[in-house]
Chains A and B, each alone.
Chain A
Amino acid sequence: MPYLDHAATTPMRSEAIAAVTTAMAQLGNPSSLHGSGRHARRRVEESRERLAAALGARPSEVIFTSGGTEADNLAVKGIFWARRGADPTKRRIVASTVEHHAVLDALDWLAAHEGAEITWLEVDATGLVAPESLRRALGDDTALVTVMWANNEVGTLEPVRELAAIAREHGVPLHTDAVQAVGAVPVDFAASGADALTLTGHKLGGPPGVGALLLRRDVAVVPLLHGGGQERDVRSGTLDGPGAVGLALATDIAVAHQPDEAPRLAALRDRLVDGVRRIVPDVIVNGHPTRHLPGIAHLSFPGCEGDSLLMLLDARGIECSTGSACSAGVAQPSHVLLATGAEAACARSSLRFSLGHTSTDEDVDAVLDEIGPVVERARRAGLFV
């Protein structure tokens, strides 16, 4: 089954499945004081150290969460509340227009209910934020900057290091959602200059339901969850030992493989894009021509509805996406594509193929075998919408 939707979720690595399974059989609340508790705590702390080492962070900078959405919310809301609490004039958040909904909707909520003011950093036609635009956007009232490391739809890599340096000059913390980046491109938390970084397990071969916020020790954050005071008092809740084990191991493996895996995926992706171009000459390749995730190809097929394409490919056993998954199942025109200046019709005619650690040449061949007739049929159907 050609699975080309690794950006939605990627198969769990067998090593991670084994490690999680083993850990689930082991008793102990990491906060308990007896032997079982100490053993459980040890597994969590070793995982914390392993995760930190893989990502250029200090162990004390790792806050385990339930996943990317929680980490994004914790960073965006928590840092905003902490900064505004310390200085009520700091109520502005600077963010790119192409953030994931876990950031965008948190920002909308802060604007609607907490008096936050948002300054949007526009992107160019490739989805890229210009660092100079951040310089112009920063002011005395800025509480936080949030710009993703890699875009989940078109795959564009944002200049996080330059943005973080500019934010640092102004004494403003920067959060980056690196959910798609970790394991796909080199990510070094300390070297990036970011103050907070989101990652999640199921995008890199780890288990779903566990992620982390890397948070510098000098950045204050107001918790979303109150309770037992776990995780620096920032994220209460009984620690998910097996989740932490699986996340750390999968991250470690993905990061170790990244130097070999990235060129392999880039070659597959380029073959996919070149092949589709030959078969469908008017296809539009979205995103940045070079600064992109190695495994993502985001394509628009003029005259087709994305959901027709998806359905026709699905019927042929090829799994991809029209963009980021939506709870209602209704394909909305992508806010990312609209932000790059694409027409709504173009935004609705898109497919995202995303490759990952299990992708092969056969997967690409399958797409190239089917895409011609599928596009032709979807074009005919496109006339009726």
Chain B
Amino acid sequence: MKVLAAMSGGVDSAVAAARAVDAGYDVTGVHLALSAAPSTLRHGARGCCTVEDANDARRAADVLGIPFYVWDLAERFREDVIDDFVAEYAAGRTPNPCLRCNEKIKFAAVLDRALALGFDAVVTGHHARLEGGRLRRSVDAAKDQSYVLAVLTPGQLAGAMFPLGDSTKAQVRSEAADRGLAVAEKPDSHDICFIADGDTRGFLSRQLGATAGPIVDAVTGDTVGEHGGSFGFTVGQRRGLRLQRPAPGGEPRYVLSIQPKTNTVVVGPGELLDADEVTADRPLWTVSRPGDRFDCLVQLRAHGMVTPATVSVADGAVTARLHGTQRGVAAGQALVMYDGDTVLGSATIASARRATVRS
């Protein structure tokens, strides 16, 4: 069986490729060039798209003795991930670009091309288990990436291999060192790979322009401050608001919503962030749809808390009634549904509200 190993230049994808080799597959390594103008050197722990990262991936492939190529997906990545990211913020939502990348790039553009070229599957270093077509959480809860893979359909999962799901990150690093892979000690990448300096707000202001607008208190209706651009705020955010007037009771205020049409950021007390009903659209099922109404666990952001909920599906929308409340549910994030540690599917959060009266 011929498989294509997507190699970012990091430790996870290198070990994933190594395990595929050990398992007897005919492995070819590919680095996905996602930036049209990559930096030569990597800076800090961000990004995965520098020439240095490509060279790290190439070195790992050399050590494993597998062929290695670079595929230029910069144009697709810009259209499907970066432009979508900017448009989502412009609409007042908080997107997760890693989900989009998995849905549109790694397990669409790359997988489709790999299959057409005669490969049977794409191997990645995601921390998740894939058993009998069922996508499950990694054994390493802290590194679990099932949330960002929950957009994959059964067809996409059929062409995916995640060899790391049974291992902790520490085990992966130690295995990389044992295998003589120089990336064993390379720092984890985090944040958003295409914002090299980590300054999301600066990136968005360059893309969208920064127009000052009011920060309004949801309780009093008063303008309590001014912002330099409504995007770049996240629902639930408390710091960095620079409010000029304290709340009457002195309690902290949080971002409740962003209203791009009026360029307004709405703030208020934390309890107004509590939601027990979440509606989400564009459902995608990793398995066949469980039914119109079912109980499951839901996770509402990456590395977020998991909460039991009753989910109903109708007219292409998902409504999750939470058994309890969650604070700071942001539109644009994914609602991911689990049965135990098995992913059922996901949908994009459209809104959240407090449906029941507080007792």
Known: A328-B38, A328-B51, A328-B54. A307 touches B71 (CB 8 A): yes
**Residue from the list A308, A315, A329, A377 in contact with B31, Cβ < 8 A:** A329
Known: A384-B109, A385-B76, A385-B109. A329 touches B116 (CB 8 A): no
Instruction: Please name all residues of chain A whose beta carbon is closer than 8 Å to the beta carbon of B69 when the two chains form the complex.
Output: 307, 310-311, 329
User: Would you give the shortest CB distance from A311 to chain B, in whole angstroms?
Assistant: 5
How many pairs, one residue from A and one from B, have CB atoms within 8 Å of each other in the complex? 50
Q: Within the assembled complex, what's the spacing in Å between the Cα atoms of A285 and B28?
A: 30
Does B340 sit at the interface, judged by CB under 8 A?
Answer: no
Does B67 sit at the interface, judged by CB under 8 A?
Answer: yes
User: Would you give the shortest CB distance from A297 to chain B, in whole angstroms?
Assistant: 22
Q: Is there an interface contact between A380 and B116, defined as CB atoms closer than 8 Å?
A: yes
Could you mark each residue 110-146 of chain B with 1 if its beta carbon is under 8 Å from any beta carbon of chain A, else 0?
0011001110000000000000000000000000000
**Residue from the list B31, B67, B74, B116 in contact with A381, Cβ < 8 A:** B116
Q: Within the assembled complex, what's the spacing in Å between the Cα atoms of A342 and B270?
A: 60
Q: Is there an interface contact between B72 and A307, defined as CB atoms closer than 8 Å?
A: yes
Known: A307-B72, A314-B67, A328-B70. A377 touches B116 (CB 8 A): yes
User: Would you give the shortest CB distance from B39 to chain A, in whole angstroms?
Assistant: 11
Does A331 sit at the interface, judged by CB under 8 A?
Answer: yes
User: Would you give the shortest CB distance from B30 to chain A, in whole angstroms?
Assistant: 9
User: Would you give the shortest CB distance from A253 to chain B, in whole angstroms?
Assistant: 33
Instruction: Please name all residues of chain A whose beta carbon is closer than 8 Å to the beta carbon of B58 when the two chains form the complex.
Output: 329
Q: Within the assembled complex, what's the spacing in Å between the Cα atoms of A381 and B70?
A: 15
User: Would you give the shortest CB distance from A178 to chain B, in whole angstroms?
Assistant: 30
**Residue from the list A315, A331, A385 in contact with B113, Cβ < 8 A:** A385
In this complex, the interface size class of chain B, counting residues with CB under 8 Å from chain A, is: 20 to 34
Known: A311-B69, A331-B72, A378-B117. A384 touches B54 (CB 8 A): no
Known: A314-B67, A384-B109. A377 touches B117 (CB 8 A): yes
Does A330 sit at the interface, judged by CB under 8 A?
Answer: yes
Could you mark each residue 86-122 of chain B with 1 if its beta carbon is under 8 Å from any beta carbon of chain A, else 0?
0000000000000000000000010011001110000
Q: Within the assembled complex, what's the spacing in Å between the Cα atoms of A330 and B54?
A: 10
Does B33 sit at the interface, judged by CB under 8 A?
Answer: yes
Q: Within the assembled complex, what's the spacing in Å between the Cα atoms of A312 and B118?
A: 9
Instruction: Please name all residues of chain A whose beta carbon is closer than 8 Å to the beta carbon of B76 when the two chains form the complex.
Output: 385
Q: Within the assembled complex, what's the spacing in Å between the Cα atoms of A378 and B71?
A: 14
- In the assembled complex, 17 residue pairs joining A and B whose CB atoms fall closer than 8 Å, in A order, are A307-B69, A307-B71, A308-B117, A310-B69, A311-B28, A314-B67, A328-B33, A328-B70, A329-B54, A330-B38, A330-B70, A331-B72, A377-B116, A384-B109, A384-B112, A384-B113, A385-B113
Q: Which B residues are within 8 Å of any A CB, using their own CB?
A: 28, 31, 33, 38, 51, 54, 58, 67, 69-72, 74, 76, 109, 112-113, 116-118
